[in-house]
Structure 1
């Protein structure tokens, strides 16, 4: 074989390989999977026992690139220079801060301060827990700032917002930028079906705390995403069905002083489910 023939055959093989890569064994075209509109992130509370650089190192190891910012990593009193440095630190790890919170807001001054904090940080989503009597005021704040505010449900121990229905029933008539940070684990601990509630309230769910629990009861404990009673495949299917476009932030609350193995297992399981269905 001379040099010219060798080059021709090499080119032909390359082209054939490219064609085969887009077909199955029967010669049919294999459709490229469309990316989901929702992304995997991390809830900052997961890292309550760790400094920012340690949290970012764990996120790098599991390749998760979105973080809901907690005040123990970026205090409410942070200066513009400190906020700039914080974002630069995140960027070095290819991480984006997409929201702040959860923030407990027990007064209207807390609400005012929370919105100003989010504005300085440069995000347009606040996760928080306000009082019932301040919801009208909160709705007006969402209009004023053009921010989304997501109320977090916390299960049976939470007298304000134990489940998704307790949030939605109080905000459904208010500004549509006021909605839910839907914690699926706490919702099930309160005896409510998280998959059904996503279908029911999806238009007002702006953030989702992703976790699994050991039993559908108040005594249920958080666990690795693959080991609990919540049907994660069913969860992904309903998110796709309703075209959810917010964040799915893993909130890992088991072994919180040594969480990396559980985070890695949960992230791997999530990505495997997303890729397989």
Structure 2
């Protein structure tokens, strides 16, 4: 029988296996933890988790927990960064065996801001932009995905979000748009809106390009984020569904509890997730 303690023990053992290698190019995939039986999805960290930390401090925490993919936030790489600054940013990530795989979330209020967001993503060199556009601008977003060949994933923020409270609200608005417009599935906020996040992962998987991995204390507006193994979402069932739908993107841990001292909670969540993955094969 596999218990939460087993999951944690297996995951924590995985944290000691940090691999330090030279990546052959800026966007090359970093070393794999396990060559055999590796899941198609990748564990990452959403840059917002490091709101109160500079890039060096953030990368040091990522090294401590052996995570190698980062969704880039603008407080680490500002929108107006020069080509030289972007190159230096990626060089620093490479030195730490980290790949910046996407940018965002980026809020936009008009077409000019959408233009700026796509231009930023292109200059950074990623093919995925996480955003929160106005409903009226969705057709324009779709045009930009074609123009730039950059995928755009809309983020849901729960019951207080009047634009995109859950995955279904996004899907209903984008289902007839270009296939490069999709969802950044925040499973925690989705749950806070009273949804079944495991079922919604299955239902909308074809348009889910990215996800924010988190758990919440209760399935209601007042729910708050917590360590991954301590909330109301069934994480083992979620992992099994990731495999069932053959999700191949990143699962970006977005840790919003104890944001001024997040390392312990991030480490526990990473260890738990890896333990679940190992224990449910």
The TM-score, its normalising length taken from structure 2, stands at 0.87
Higher RCO (CA < 8 A, seq sep 6+):
2
Partner of 1:233: 236
- The 1-side partners of 2:87 and 2:150 are apart by 21
Question: Per-residue displacement from partner, 1:3-58 (whole Å, max 9, x unpaired)?
Answer: xxxxxxxxxxxxxxxxxxxxxxxxxxxxx952111000000000000000000000
Aligned-pair CA distance for 1:157: 1.0
- 1:93 matched to 2:96? The reply is yes
- The 1-side partners of 2:141 and 2:50 are apart by 28
- 1:42 matched to 2:45? The reply is yes
- The 1-side partners of 2:100 and 2:36 are apart by 27
- 1:104 matched to 2:107? The reply is yes
Partner of 2:208: 205
Flag structure 1 segments of 5+ consecutive residues without an equivalent. 1-31
The structure 2 residue matched to 1:125, chosen from 128, 134, 137, is 128
The structure 2 residue matched to 1:144, chosen from 115, 122, 147, is 147
Q: Secondary structure at the match of 2:251?
A: strand
The TM-score, its normalising length taken from structure 1, stands at 0.88
RMSD after superposition? 0.8
Aligned-pair CA distance for 1:92: 1.0
Q: How does 1:183-194 map to 2 (within 5 A)?
A: 183-194=186-197
Question: Per-residue displacement from partner, 1:215-245 (whole Å, max 9, x unpaired)?
Answer: 1111111000011110000000001000001
Q: Which runs of 4+ in 1 moved over 2 A?
A: none
The count of aligned residue pairs is: 246
- The 2-side partners of 1:239 and 1:141 are apart by 29
Q: Secondary structure at the match of 1:226?
A: helix
